[in-house]
Amino acid sequence: MNWTAVASIYRFEMARFFRTITQSFVSPVLSTSLYFVVFGTAIGSRIEQVEGISYGAFIVPGLIMLSVMTQATSNASFGIYFPKFIGTIYELLSAPINFLEIVIGYVGAAATKALFIGVIILVTAFFFVDLTIAHPIAMLAFLVLTCVSFALLGFIIGIWAGNFEQLQLIPLLVITPLVFLGGSFYSITMLPPIWQTITLFNPVVYLISGFRWSFFGASDVPVGLSLLAIAGFTLACMAFIWWIFKTGWRIRQ
Amino acid sequence: MSSIVSVQNLRKTFEGGFEALKGVNLEIEEGEILALLGPNGAGKTTLISTICGITLGTSGSITVGGHDVVTGYRAARSLIGLVPQEINLEPFETVMNSVRFSRGLFGKPRNDAYLEDVLKKLSLHDKKDARIRTLSGGMKRRVLIAKALSHEPRVLFLDEPTAGVDVELRKDMWDVVAALKADGVTIILTTHYIEEAEAIADRVGVINKGEILLVQDKAALMAQLGKKELHVELTAPVDAIPTSLSKYELAMGPGGRSLVYSYDTKGERTGITTLLNDLSKAGLKLADMETRQSSLEDIFVGLVKETA
Ligand SMILES: Nc1ncnc2c1ncn2[C@@H]1O[C@H](COP(=O)(O)OP(=O)(O)O)[C@@H](O)[C@H]1O
Ligand SMILES: [Mg+2]
C-alpha cells in the first residue's frame, strides 16, 4: 500500500473542505436550526410526544442522518468527479497507486467531512432540545458506517456521472425522498398499516431506526436488522467499486 | 546504452473500433532526448498515455526501467513524470500545494526544499503561493512541468510542451529540457514543430497514422536524407536538357527557366565545379543560382506522403 499517496489525497480533499469552511459549516447549522424552529417548535407544540419522547428530540437522529447521507454522497461524488471534469484525473491514473488507495483517499475524506457535519448538528441540537444518548458507542458506529457507506455510493456516482446534472440526479431523486419518507420526522408506527409495509422496502428506514435506537433505546425495526441493512449496503457499494476497479469502467479506456 | 523505455508491438484499438496504434516498436535510450514528430491525430498522445498508464494497450508490451507497465505498474510509474498536452490543473489550489500533492501521490516523503528548487529552476518560485487560476498560460505549463518533476522522475514525457506558446517561452522551455538532460533525465517530447525536434532532440522518431515510420539519430537523419540542391536560373529558357549534361541527372524547373542539380554534401566531390563548366560549354547562360538543404520538414513531408 502506498499510504503516502492515500494521505496526500485525503489531505488535499480536506484542504478544499477547510478552504470553504464557512460554507461547509454554516449551511448545515443554519438549516438544522430552521428545522428545529419549524418542526420542533411550531409543529412539535401540537404533536407533543412520540413514543414518550418530545418531538423536538425525536427528530434529531433523522435530521443528522438526512444531512450526513446527503453530505457524504455529494462530497464523495464531487471529489472524484471534479478531477474527471477538469482533467487532473490524469495524475491519479499515471501515479504508482492502485484503485483501492484512490477510494480510501476520496471516500475517507468525504466520510470525514460528513462526520464533522453530523457532529456539528448534534451539538447544535443540544441548544434546542433536551437530549440524552442511550448508547453512545452504537450511535457513533451507526454514524461512521453511514458516512462511509454513503461516501462509497457517492464515489460510484462521481465515477458514473458524465456531467453535473447527472451528479445531482441521484442525490436529488433518490436519496432525499428516501430519507424524508424514511421516518426522519415521524415514527413509522404513526402510518396506516399498508404504508408501514411499503416503508419497510425503504433501506433508509433501517438506518434511521437503528440510529434513533442508539439515542432513545426504542426503534421501529429490530436493531440487528438495522445493522444488517447498513452492512449489506456498504458491502454492495464495495462490490460495485471492486467491479469498477476490475473493468476500468468510465476511468481507463 | 540500454533502453529505459521499451515498447513492443503495441496496438491500441479504442472502444469505437478505431485503431490508433498499429504495432508500435520503440526503444528509448537512457539519458537521451527523443522527439516524436507527427501530425495531429498521429497517435502521439495515445502512445504516451499508454506508456504512462492512462489508457490500456490492446496488445503488445511496454517496460519502463525493465518493469512491465501493467504487472509492475508501481515500479514503472515511479520512474515516470508526465506533462500532459492539455493544461489540466486545479484552478483554486496554490502552486506549492499542487506540486506537493503530486509528490505525495508518487509516495515520496515531503521535501519542500527540493520542490522549491524545482520551482526556482522553472522561474516559478515567486508564484509558489499564487492560486493557479491567476497564472498565465505559459506559467500554467510550467506548473505542469513542476508537478511532473516533483517526484524526481528518471523519464520525462512532454506532450507538445510548446504548442500555443510564444517564441520566448519556447526557448525557455528548451533550456529547461537541456538542463534536465544534463541531470541525466531521459526526455521524450512530442511535437509537430519540426524546428523543435531539430533544435533539441538527439534522436527523432516520425509517427503517422499509428505507425512509427522511422527513428534515427538526428544528425544521421539529416546527413542521410539531407541532400542539397543547386538551383540554376537561366537567362533564356531551354526546351530540353542538353545531352552533354545527362550524367548530372538534372531536373528541369518550371518553363525550362531553371535546372536543378542534387548532390550529396558528404560526398568526396560535389561535382559543382565541373557542372558549371559543362553548363557554359553547352552554351547556357546563368542568371542566378542558389543552394538549398532539405530540412527535417522536407524529410517529414516526404515520409508522410510515401505512407499516405
Ligand atoms: N478516447 C478515444 N476514443 C476514440 N478515438 C480516440 C480517442 N483518443 C484519441 N483517439 C483518436 O486516436 C487518434 C490519435 O490521437 P492522438 O493520440 O491524440 O494523436 P496526436 O496526439 O498525435 O495528435 C486520433 O485519430 C484520435 O481521434
Ligand atoms: Mg496529442
Residue A129 near residue A54 (C-beta atoms within 8 A): yes
Taking residues A6-22, report their average pLDDT: 90
Those residues whose C-beta lies under 8 Å from the C-beta of residue A217, and which sit 6 or more positions away, are: A134, A135
Q: Please tell me the pTM assigned to this model.
A: 0.85
Domain boundaries, given as residue ranges, for chain B: 3-223, 227-294
Q: Distance of CA B37 to CAs B40, B49, B101, B304, Å?
A: 10, 16, 32, 11
Mean pLDDT of B185-201: 89
Percentage of chain B with pLDDT > 90? 59
- Ligand 1-lining residues (CB < 6 angstroms): A 253; B 14, 16, 18, 20, 38, 40-46
Q: What is the pLDDT of residue B307?
A: 64
DSSP class of B235 = S
Q: Quick one: pLDDT band at residue A202, thresholds 50, 70, 90?
A: confident
Could you give the CA distance from residue B201 to residue A6 in angstroms, rounded to a whole number? 37
Residue identified by cell 466520510 is A111
Confidence tier at B7 by pLDDT (50, 70, 90): very high
More confident residue, A39 or A202: A202
Q: Find the ligand nearest to B13 CA.
A: 1
ipTM of the complex: 0.88
Give the one of B52, B77, B107 whose C-beta lies nearest to A4's C-beta: B107
Q: What is the pLDDT of residues A83-102, one digit of tens each?
A: 999 999 999 999 999 989 99
List the single residue in B54, B101, B103 with the smallest CB-CB distance to A90. B54
- The winner for highest mean pLDDT among A25-29, A122-126, B143-147 is B143-147
**pLDDT in the model for residue B181:** 94
Give me the pLDDT at residue A52, please: 78
Least confident among A130-139, B70-79, B107-116, B258-267: B258-267
| Cα-to-centroid distance, B88 and ligand 2 (Å) | 14
Binning pLDDT at 50, 70 and 90, where does residue B164 land? confident
The CA distance from B184 to B146, in Å, is 17
The tally of CA atoms less than 13 A away on the side-chain side of residue B130 is 13
Mean pLDDT for the stretch of residues A45-54: 75
Q: Does A20 touch chain B (CB under 8 A)?
A: no
* Per-residue pLDDT band at B195 (split at 50, 70, 90): confident
Q: Do B56 and A248 touch (CB under 8 A)?
A: yes
Of all residues in chain A, the percent with pLDDT exceeding 70 is: 98
Residue A36 CA to its chain's centroid (Å): 20
Rounded to whole angstroms, the Cα distance separating B95 from B231 reads 54
Cα–Cα dist A48/B163, whole Å = 70
CATH class of B227-294: alpha beta
Q: What percent of chain A has pLDDT over 90?
A: 47
- Does A177 score more than 90 pLDDT? no
**Quick check: A248 pLDDT over 80?**
no
**From CA A213, how far away is CA B248, in angstroms rounded?**
101
In angstroms, the Cα distances linking A117 to A69, A71, A74, A121, A179 are 10, 8, 13, 6, 17
Pocket test for ligand 1, best of B14, B21, B24, B46 (most atoms within 8 A of CB): B46
* Alpha helix (H) residue ranges in chain A: 3-19, 21-35, 44-47, 55-86, 89-94, 99-128, 136-160, 164-170, 176-180, 193-199, 203-216, 223-247
The confidence score (pLDDT) of residue A44 equals: 66
CB atoms inside a 10 Å sphere around CB A88: 20
A155-173, pLDDT tens digit by residue? 999 999 999 999 988 888 8
CATH class, B3-223 region: alpha beta
Residue type, B41: G
